[in-house]
Amino acid sequence: MDLRPLPRAFYARPVLSVARDCIGKHLVRDTADGRVVGRIVEAEAYRGPEDRAAHSFGGRRTARTEVMYGPPGHAYVFFVYGLHHHVNLVTTEIDKPHAVLLRAVEPVAGLELMAERRGMPATRRELTNGPGKLCEAFAIDRRDNGIDLTSAPLFLSDGAVCKVARATRVGIDYAGAVWAARPWRFFDPASRYVSKSAGARSRR
């Protein structure tokens, strides 16, 4: 498998295009313990400042959101609920706080390491089928906030093209019905690792 990082040009595009195109791509993570690789099967677009569901809504520019205003191709990592991390791809261009949340991957390599970090057998779907879960399996935390995604230790690499389905985003009801209804979640309908297929046209 050829695991070269995608160029910055991949990220320097409209956020919805990046969110759709990263389905099927590989996420590669290197640490002292070794390398883990996953195939991205679910992602969501957040388009601040007009997107009420985005942290950068209203042009909010704080220590936390600062990374999203920087150049595309960097990681925006944040901490929620007192125990979980989420990782985003910063996209588009400088001063446009648009980002793609990675919600789920299919384990491809380094299964043992992921299982050890998650404290469960590598055969379980729960290994990486959620945004907080994949961060734990990939050992991503807020020390990775702002790192460059065009080189190790964290980057996206090419993958096979697959079908991509759309649905509404998850867990953003606080943004109101209008924004919650935007079909800005993209996923591979054939994957068993998608966190929630409900809300999509396909069932099960």
Residues lying near DNA in the complex (CB under 7 A) are found at 44, 46, 53-55, 60, 62-65, 76, 78-84, 86, 88, 99, 101, 118, 126, 130-133, 142, 170-172, 174, 195
Residues 52 and 55: their CA atoms lie apart, in Å, by 8
Q: Minimum CB separation from DNA for residue 1, in Å?
A: 26
Report angle CA 56, 58, 64 to the nearest 5 degrees.
30
Q: Minimum CB separation from DNA for residue 118, in Å?
A: 6
Residues 117 and 28: their CA atoms lie apart, in Å, by 16
Is 87 or 165 the residue whose CB approaches DNA more closely?
Answer: 87
Is 69 or 166 the residue whose CB approaches DNA more closely?
Answer: 69
Q: Minimum CB separation from DNA for residue 88, in Å?
A: 5
Kind of pairing between the strands at 165-167 and 185-187: antiparallel
Is 8 or 118 the residue whose CB approaches DNA more closely?
Answer: 118
Is 64 or 166 the residue whose CB approaches DNA more closely?
Answer: 64
Is-cis flag, bond preceding 71, omega within 30?
A: no
Nearest 5°: phi and psi at 61? -130, 100
